[in-house]
Amino acid sequence: MSVQVIISQADGIGTGDTWIGMEILSGNLMTGLVTTPLGRFIPQPLESQSVIIDNQWHHVGFVWDGSYRSLFVDGTEVARDAEVLSPLKYSNGGLYIVHRPVGHKQDVANQEDQSNQSQHDDFSNR
């Protein structure tokens, strides 16, 4: 499954999880927050049938109530787990909103700004 991330959170090793995203081929809203794998059980993302790439603005949401994951589009629940889940995997890193694909021109500009700032900081500390 190829996903365009909307909101994600890094974990201790830097990979993280997708809180809210969009499955690229279908345009469907999804979440990659899953439970911890247990034995042969491999947790699956929750994907809605609600397409969010129709050239309209949408209010999207994710809710975890301790038992079920739910996805919302424009205030309407569009997907919910069929069974009670065990607790979701823990993430303790930074929260990222509207993550662009790596190599996006804004990412390159931000890297250049950070590099210039680092060089400035190094020079000013002499």
Which residue has better confidence, 125 or 42?
A: 42
Print the domain residue range for 79. Answer: 3-124
Is the pLDDT at 113 greater than 80? The verdict is no
- Residue by residue, DSSP assigns 34-76 as -BPPBTTB----EEEEEE--SSS---EEEEE-SS-EEEEETTE
The total number of structural domains in the chain stands at 1
- Helix, strand, coil share of the chain (percent; to 5): 15, 35, 50
Look up residue 15 and give its two tokens: 């990979």
pTM of this prediction? 0.71
**Band (15; pLDDT cuts 50, 70, 90):** low
Confidence category of residue 13, pLDDT binned at 50, 70, 90: low
